[in-house]
């Protein structure tokens, strides 16, 4: 899809840059309103808006609300709350659309805008392309628009808390890292209500410290605190709360692949994995496939992006999917990825089996991977890089069914991402070096 602004997860970039600024936000709000006017299944012209804790959030929210208001749509502010809570609120408030102003795990200097449809799911490529075509060249004004305010945090937390029985986490010590982001007011409340004693990190947002050395991208302090405090586990979110990274009681970090494999194999053992299918992306480790097959299920892969996972899950009738980055989708609870839901689901497995996380993680034996990111000045079409293409083809032929190669452009950053996987670590590393050399020869 040749979209000009949208990437794999909405529109994202440096605040004050050519895309993420108040004028662009107002234009995008107007375009979304025009698109809603053309949608026959939109029952209302109410749009809910949530944001994370970034300093640029309030002004971008006001701008997109003004763009919506200029086109006759009523904006409703939800304030600061996790992305999955916005997804839930769209349906709960019978809104036509949900807007989240966030750059997820990116630093505070970045921001972004992503959308949820009236049923709480991310928009498709085709829908985003239609919105881009409706963007006006300018808007009459980005002055303040009338905005109503609704509290949706309380019902969201009640819904999530119901995953576990009352008092289920009594006598549990948990280290919780909320990344100075949107989950600061939700995850601690839910875990304490279930009886947990918390050691907190990243719980003092100031608008500029979101994801700064904390959160899913920086689990080192979390792991150290788990070891130091003797906690049962550690939980880290990203800035907008749709990701989850865990740390076992020994201080070892678990990524999304390990979380998904634990949940999938447990669900298979209890007849709860619908269609006996786990949906992941091409980024996930081949060890996931092996573990799920051994448990009697199958793994299906999609392009990178949790919305592609979600789309396939709906088509296949699956109830579990996600990404190695920590986006975990349990649509029977909430339509999109939810870091707190994922953590509670893992705790549910721990409670049911009586096994610590360090034992549960053993179900996945990962294939060695070698990964790298190459920052570039320009994202050129892959077909315009014949030398790199030849190197990829040669390496794939050598690896055969004992490994795989993945080279793709980042959907949110000017980077070319590389992954080489093989049963032998040395082979994977050597293959990665060959691909990097080929790419640098062509890209400079």
pLDDT in tens, the chain (444 residues): 577 899 888 999 999 999 999 999 999 999 999 999 887 555 558 999 999 999 999 999 999 999 998 888 999 999 999 999 999 999 999 999 999 999 999 999 999 999 999 989 999 999 999 999 999 888 766 656 567 788 899 999 999 999 999 999 999 999 999 999 999 999 999 999 999 999 999 999 999 999 999 999 999 999 999 999 999 999 999 999 999 999 999 999 999 999 999 999 999 999 999 999 999 999 899 999 999 999 999 999 999 889 999 999 999 999 999 999 999 999 999 999 999 999 999 999 999 999 999 999 999 999 998 999 999 888 888 899 999 999 999 999 999 888 899 998 887 678 999 999 998 999 999 999 999 999 999 887
Centre a 10 Å sphere on the Cβ of residue 442 and count the other Cβ atoms it contains: 14
Q: At what angle do helices 339-353 and 256-269 cross, to 10 degrees?
A: 50
Cβ partners under 8 Å of residue 367, min gap 6: 285, 286, 287, 403, 421, 422, 423
Alpha helices (H) in 277-364, listed in sequence order: 286-294, 306-316, 339-353, 357-360
Q: What is the pLDDT of residue 304?
A: 87
Asked about 104 being catalytic, the answer comes back as: yes
The residue among 105, 103, 90, 118 whose CA lies nearest residue 60 is: 103
Edge-to-edge strand ranges of the sheet holding 233-236: 197-201, 173-177, 233-236, 245-247, 253-254
Q: What is the pLDDT of residue 208?
A: 98
How far is CA 405 from each of CA 286, 288, 418, 428, 438, rounded to the nearest angstrom?
11, 16, 8, 9, 14
The residue among 48, 54, 88, 9 whose CA lies nearest residue 341 is: 88
Q: Are 83 and 336 spatial neighbours (Cβ–Cβ below 8 Å)? A: yes
Q: What is the pLDDT of residue 141?
A: 65
| CATH of region 155-251, choose from 3.40.109.10, 3.40.120.10, 1.10.40.30, 3.30.70.580 | 3.40.120.10
The residue among 111, 110, 21, 117 whose CA lies nearest residue 64 is: 21
The residue among 304, 326, 308 whose CA lies nearest residue 238 is: 326
Q: How far is CA 328 from the centre of its chain?
A: 8
Cβ partners under 8 Å of residue 97, min gap 6: 32, 36, 42, 47, 48, 90, 115, 116, 117, 118
Cβ partners under 8 Å of residue 118, min gap 6: 41, 42, 43, 90, 91, 95, 96, 97
Residues 157, 163: Cα–Cα separation, whole Å: 10
Considering the segment(s) 11-151 as one domain, its CATH architecture is: 3-Layer(aba) Sandwich (3.40)
Residues 222, 215: Cα–Cα separation, whole Å: 8
Q: How many helices (H) and strands (E) does the chain have?
A: 14, 18
Instruction: Report domain 254-356's class.
Output: alpha beta
Say which CATH topology domain 369-443 has. TATA-Binding Protein (3.30.310)
**Per-residue DSSP letter, 367:** P
Among residues 40, 59, 87, 104, the one annotated as catalytic is: 104
The residue among 301, 305, 303 whose CA lies nearest residue 318 is: 301
**Token pair belonging to 408:** 């793709």
Q: What is the pLDDT of residue 219?
A: 97
Same fold, 155-251 and 369-443: no
Q: Where are the domains of the chain?
A: 11-151, 155-251, 254-356, 369-443
Residues 21, 14: Cα–Cα separation, whole Å: 9
The residue among 392, 384, 385 whose CA lies nearest residue 419 is: 392
């Amino acid at each position: 899809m040749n979209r000009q602004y949208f990437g794999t997860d909405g529109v994202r970039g440096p605040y004050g840059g050519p895309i993420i600024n108040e004028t662009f936000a107002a234009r995008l709000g107007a375009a979304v309103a025009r698109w809603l006017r053309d949608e026959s299944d939109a029952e209302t012209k109410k749009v809910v808006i949530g944001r994370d804790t970034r300093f640029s959030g309030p002004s971008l929210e006001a701008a997109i609300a003004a763009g919506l208001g200029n086109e006759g749509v009523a904006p409703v502010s939800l304030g600061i709350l996790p992305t999955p809570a916005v997804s839930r609120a769209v349906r709960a408030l019978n809104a036509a659309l949900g807007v989240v102003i966030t750059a997820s795990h990116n630093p505070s200097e970045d921001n972004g805008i992503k959308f949820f449809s009236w049923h709480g799911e991310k928009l498709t490529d085709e829908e985003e392309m239609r919105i881009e075509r409706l963007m006006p060249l300018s808007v009459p004004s980005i002055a303040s628009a009338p905005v109503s305010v609704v509290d949706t945090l309380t019902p969201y937390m009640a819904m999530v808390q119901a995953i576990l029985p009352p008092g289920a986490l009594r006598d549990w010590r948990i280290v919780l890292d909320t990344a100075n982001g949107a989950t600061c007011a939700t995850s601690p409340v839910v875990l304490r209500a279930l009886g947990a004693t918390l050691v907190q990190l990243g719980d003092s947002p100031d608008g500029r410290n979101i994801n700064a050395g904390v959160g899913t991208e920086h689990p080192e302090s979390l792991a150290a605190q788990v070891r130091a405090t003797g906690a049962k586990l550690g939980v880290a979110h990203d800035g907008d709360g749709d990701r989850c990274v865990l740390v076992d009681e020994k201080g070892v970090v678990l990524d999304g692949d390990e979380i998904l494999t634990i949940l999938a194999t447990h669900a298979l053992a209890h007849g709860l994995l619908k269609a006996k299918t786990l949906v992941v992306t091409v980024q996930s480790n081949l060890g996931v496939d092996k573990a799920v097959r051994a448990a009697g299920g199958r793994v299906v892969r999609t392009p990178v992006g949790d919305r592609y996972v979600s789309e396939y899950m709906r088509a296949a009738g699956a109830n579990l999917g996600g990404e190695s980055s920590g986006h975990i989708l349990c649509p029977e609870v909430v339509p999109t990825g939810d870091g707190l839901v994922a953590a509670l689901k893992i705790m549910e497995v721990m409670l049911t089996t009586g096994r610590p996380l360090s034992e549960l993680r053993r179900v996945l034996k990962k294939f060695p991977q070698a990964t790298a990111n190459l920052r570039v000045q320009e994202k050129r079409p892959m077909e315009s890089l014949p030398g790199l293409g030849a190197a990829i083809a040669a390496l794939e032929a050598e690896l055969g069914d004992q490994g795989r190669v993945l080279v793709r452009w980042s959907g949110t950053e000017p980077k070319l991402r590389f992954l080489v996987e093989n049963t032998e670590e040395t082979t994977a590393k050597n293959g990665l070096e060959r691909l990097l050399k080929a790419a640098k020869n062509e890209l400079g």
